[in-house]
A and B are shown apart, each in its own frame.
Chain A
Amino acid sequence: MNESQSTVTNDVILKVEDLHKSYGDNHVLRGVSLQMQRGETKVIIGPSGTGKSTLLRCINQLSVPDQGRVWLGDKEITSHHENINSIRAEIGFVFQSFNLFTHLNALANVRIGPMKVKGMKKKAATTLAMEELERVGLSDKADAYPAELSGGQQQRVSIARALAMFPQLMLFDEPTSALDPELIGEVLEVMVSLANDGMTMLVVSHEMGFARSVSDEIIFMESGGILEQGPAEDFFTSPKEQRTREFLSKITELYGD
């Protein structure tokens, strides 16, 4: 029996097989494959423009891949038979630019998913929403509108919004890149606690500290493909590829350790 078959017995939440995506002449994703088990946290790092965000968007079909297949559990997302809306309801997505619904306050933002997508009654949804806001430490801001919140607070609300749907998998697309440095910490704190609670998380980020402390595996992408991947400790101490080494040294220069 080969390796892949023996891992079938574990809980494979996400499987990505040979994804390709081009924008015009730009072949952004060139055959990317990966797998995630339940409860794993993986961080994708790499230079800009190498398709990291595109990869995430191809997973929940916010961008439609040109080639390749994606499974959530045993449902093939890329198959035409599946209802993409119900699949998306099981995948939480956190955007770099938060994308909170500006006309709704924090509470309404968090409960609209359960109410309008899952058909929950208002009362139950409100209770649920308050719980999630509590979880990210913002229950006192339930009445605040997005424009009244700081960047860090907005991002935390957006995490709560995603959590309220009880997703099987959460995708984070550079969640702290748009934040002022002093606000990054509060968001990373939430993400760390999520990881520790057993959420399956795929994160695109530059935050090496976070990557090092919480992730099960680091994936280094370059030029549309996965160049190297491996457990966090090994990755940072003894990277295999030349390019990986170069990238890591640049990063530690910029961001410290």
Chain B
Amino acid sequence: MVRHAFPSLTFGRYTSSMSTIWQSLELLIVKGLPTTILLTLGLLGTGVLLGFPIAFAQVYGYRPLRWLCRGYEQLFRGIPALVLILILHSGLARSFNILLPAFTSALIALGLRSSAYQSQIFRGAIQSVSQGQMMAARALGMSKIRAIRYIILPQAFRLSIPPWTNEYSSVLKDTSLASAIGVLELTKQGTLIFTRIQFVMGVKYILVILILVAFVYLVLTYIGNAALGFLENQLRIPGFEMKGKVER
């Protein structure tokens, strides 16, 4: 049961506009938003879990491994997100009789795709840490692994935050593709609302609903960016610049 801030006034189809709009916003947030947030966080998490090892392998691995990773990355970046979702959801079902719930299909498909993009973010970050850092670490007697862990990765992590913020913004919008396979996320919830609104208030009010949906996405993007910006600030190294060294 959704409790309403304003009492709903119903006079046949002349429902009070504001309260209907308000109701719609509440419905969007209560029913659509949690799924969108869960999907976004889930797929980003999958992306990190898969993307980081791939980036690592691409930078430090043997050639055949690097070649494999490159292939993985090309594959999942090259296929449109929607196609990937459909392959996982319908393709697997038809060909191998594997029936995944819609949410899971979307999560895995978008997660795989994000992992390909994220692996590039991490790879770029690791590679932008200057060679001199590794040399100095090894010269002290650190093993390669320790050097990576204590010297390279902490710096690479900070360098990945800005591009990762972009990934978040982009992925948040991709979650709306999950509506194609019936996941009841924000966009789908919006369509349920506006198909009703057309009879309750007239078809022109569809635009209002669409604007509400867009508004919620905007707010989510803003919150995410703000949170990541905060993290970036907390981790800021005084005077640190992209290339890692300032020659004086």
Contact = CB atoms under 8 A, between A and B. Distances in A.
Partners in one complex: yes
Given A85-B142, A117-B142, A103 B240 contact: yes
B91 to A, nearest CB: 45
A203 B169 CA distance: 52
Interface in B148-187: 150-151, 154-155, 158
Interface residues of A, number: 39
A145 B141 contact: no
Interface in B137-152: 137-143, 146, 150-151
A116 B139 CA distance: 13
Contacts of B239: 145-148
B248 A180 contact: yes
B133 interface: yes
A102 B245 contact: yes
B124 interface: no
18 contacts: A62-B138, A85-B142, A87-B141, A88-B139, A95-B135, A97-B132, A99-B133, A101-B151, A102-B133, A102-B240, A112-B140, A117-B140, A145-B237, A147-B246, A148-B238, A150-B248, A158-B136, A161-B140
B245 A62 contact: no
A51 interface: no
Given A92-B139, A102-B240, A146-B245, 10 more contacts: A88-B139, A91-B139, A98-B245, A101-B133, A101-B137, A113-B141, A145-B237, A147-B246, A148-B239, A151-B248
Given A62-B135, A99-B132, A147 B241 contact: yes
B141 A117 contact: yes
Kindly state the interface size class of chain B when it binds its partner: 20 to 34
Interface in A145-163: 145-148, 150-151, 154, 158, 161-162
A220 interface: no
B235 to A, nearest CB: 9
A44 to B, nearest CB: 18
B150 A99 contact: no
A89 interface: yes
A112 to B, nearest CB: 7
A242 interface: no
A239 B186 CA distance: 83
Contacts of A188: none
B136 A145 contact: no
A89 B141 contact: yes
A165 interface: yes
B117 to A, nearest CB: 25
A88 B240 contact: no
A117 B143 CA distance: 8
A86 B141 contact: yes
Contacts of A102: 133, 155, 237, 240, 244-245
Given A99-B133, A101-B133, A147 B237 contact: yes
A60 interface: yes
Contact of B238 (A90, A101, A145, A165): A145
Interface string A170-181: 000000001110
B247 A178 contact: yes
A183 to B, nearest CB: 8
Nearest to A143: B238
Q: Which of B141, B151, B240, B246 is packed against the most chain A CB atoms within 10 Å? A: B141
A144 B150 CA distance: 19
B143 A85 contact: yes
Interface in B104-156: 132-133, 135-143, 146, 150-151, 154-155
Given A103-B237, A148-B239, A150-B248, A116 B150 contact: yes
A136 interface: no
A71 interface: no
A93 interface: yes
A100 interface: yes
Nearest to B151: A101
Residue with the highest number of chain B CB atoms closer than 10 Å, among A103, A145, A179? A103
Contacts of B155: 102-103
A86 B154 CA distance: 24
Given A99-B133, A102-B245, A89 B238 contact: no
A39 B245 CA distance: 33
Contacts of A97: 132, 245, 247
Given A101-B133, A103-B158, A112-B150, A62 B238 contact: no
Given A62-B135, A102-B155, A103-B154, A89 B240 contact: no
Contacts of B137: 101
A160 B133 CA distance: 16
